[in-house]
Amino acid sequence: MCLWSTVDAMVGRKFGHWLIVASFCSCSSAGSEQAPAEAVSSTPTLSSASASASGIPSGVAASRPEVESVFPADNQPPLALAERYCAALHELPALRRKDCCNDQRGALFVKECSRMLSYSLRSGGSSLTEESVAKCETAFSKRLEGCGWVGLEPPRIPAECRGLLTGTRKRGDLCRSSLECAAGDSCAGLSATNSGICSAPKASGGMCQTAIDSLAAYLFADDAAHPECAGVCDKLRCRDATAEGATCSATLECGSGQRCAKGRCVKGSHATVSQACSEDLPCAEELRCVEGTCRTALPAGEPCNSDLACLGSCNSGTCAMRCEVAKATDFSKALSPRSAAPLRPSR
């Protein structure tokens, strides 16, 4: 039977976005298959002294493992290319915001992002090219020119910065992120502390949306290239997707590359200019959902009647930057017109 162990998880909050960095489960059964040795971290137990200091009974502490990241510390400096990619995603917008608003806070997560990505690259789990990172830096720098983007919405990550990592792990190989698996596969059984196995999308009835993919979270990756379900994930279970043209009540029910519009699954995962939109019907890249319709975000100086209509904010009827809003904005929502999240299984 499976024994779920609860670790006092460290949870880091980046503005409004929670990142879980420690939780795991272990299975024990007389007839169950043992997990690969590398898939389960082998760590020293808590000492009696530390147990006493924390108030944990010594008998309990002796069998309680210390938490170790699925990307173990290797005491090596980050690779320059990994550091550049992570800095482009996390540090660049923070520095530009600092220039615009005199915001003294530094960028979060660059160090840990660089460490994990460097480990993946060094171990041969993934590959990254200098050319792709350079294109990302150029595209994001251009998007952050001036200060008109500072406001209610965070700067959305350009397409040139997404999907740069190529997974090199084959089906059946150990993995520390779905990004390490070949396109079309996901890292089944993955947690923040245990490796998983690169696996094909699950059939109807399989468990889904239970993995924690730390590297994908730091890189703002979505699940398009690494679906966990052959169909869709609904209430933690894979099920068949609703066919195109069939009735639906939410985009969640429709297959990849489709959305639920006017009660039926239709082609296109995002609504385009002038089409209806909502929280469940997101607009395509660069568009904003304003009063239920997808519209192009307005630059600074344009007349407006809503913050959502502007790249930055609507101040007294004119689009402009607004620093006090930007300081409270969740930059991790920059992934898509809906929101950002760690890599999730298929919808």
Residue 337 has pLDDT above 80, yes or no: no
Share of the chain above pLDDT 90, in %: 46
CB proximity list for 42: less than 8 A, separation 6 or greater = none
198 and 98 in one domain?
A: yes
24 and 131 in one domain?
A: no
pLDDT value of position 250 = 85
What is the maximum span of the chain, computed from C-alpha positions, in angstroms? 69
88 and 232 in one domain?
A: yes
pLDDT value of position 339 = 34
In a domain, 22, yes or no: yes
110 and 245 in one domain?
A: yes
Of the spans 31-35, 40-44, 280-284, which averages the highest pLDDT? 280-284
Mean pLDDT value of segment 30-36 = 35
Cα–Cα nearest to 14, from 84, 93, 82: 93
What distance lies between CA 187 and its chain's CA centroid? 14
Give the model confidence (pLDDT) of 265-278 as tens digits. 988 888 889 988 88
218 and 111 in one domain?
A: yes
pTM of this prediction exceeds 0.75 = no
Of the spans 151-160, 193-202, 266-275, 305-314, which averages the highest pLDDT? 193-202
Task: Report the C-alpha gap between 31 and 263 in whole angstroms.
Answer: 47
Position 34, amino acid: Q
Reported as half-sphere exposure (CB side, CA atoms, 13 A), residue 178 has a value of 37
Residue for token pair 């790249």: 311
Position 126, amino acid: S
Task: Report the C-alpha gap between 260 and 275 in whole angstroms.
Answer: 13
Residue 207 has pLDDT above 80, yes or no: yes
171 and 116 in one domain?
A: yes
In a domain, 68, yes or no: no
Reported as half-sphere exposure (CB side, CA atoms, 13 A), residue 289 has a value of 16
179 and 116 in one domain?
A: yes
- Helix ranges restricted to H, the chain: 48-54, 58-61, 80-86, 92-101, 110-122, 130-143, 214-218, 323-326
Mean pLDDT value of segment 26-41 = 36
Give the model confidence (pLDDT) of 87-127 as tens digits. 999 999 989 988 998 876 656 789 999 999 999 999 999 99
The two three-digit tokens of residue 333, written as one number: 């929502």
pLDDT value of position 323 = 85
Mean pLDDT value of segment 11-19 = 32
pLDDT value of position 107 = 64
119 and 48 in one domain?
A: no
Q: Which domain holds residue 52?
A: 2-61
In a domain, 173, yes or no: yes
Mean pLDDT value of segment 240-251 = 91
The two three-digit tokens of residue 47, written as one number: 């000492």
Total domain count, the chain: 2
- Split at pLDDT 50, 70, 90, the class of 326 is very low
In a domain, 210, yes or no: yes
Q: In degrees, to the nearest 5, what angle opens at C-alpha 36 toward C-alphas 4 and 121?
A: 105
123, with CB counted inside 10 A (0-12, 13-18, 19+), is: middle
293, with CB counted inside 10 A (0-12, 13-18, 19+), is: middle
More confident residue, 280 or 91: 91
Total residue count of the chain as it appears in this document: 347
Mean pLDDT value of segment 227-247 = 92
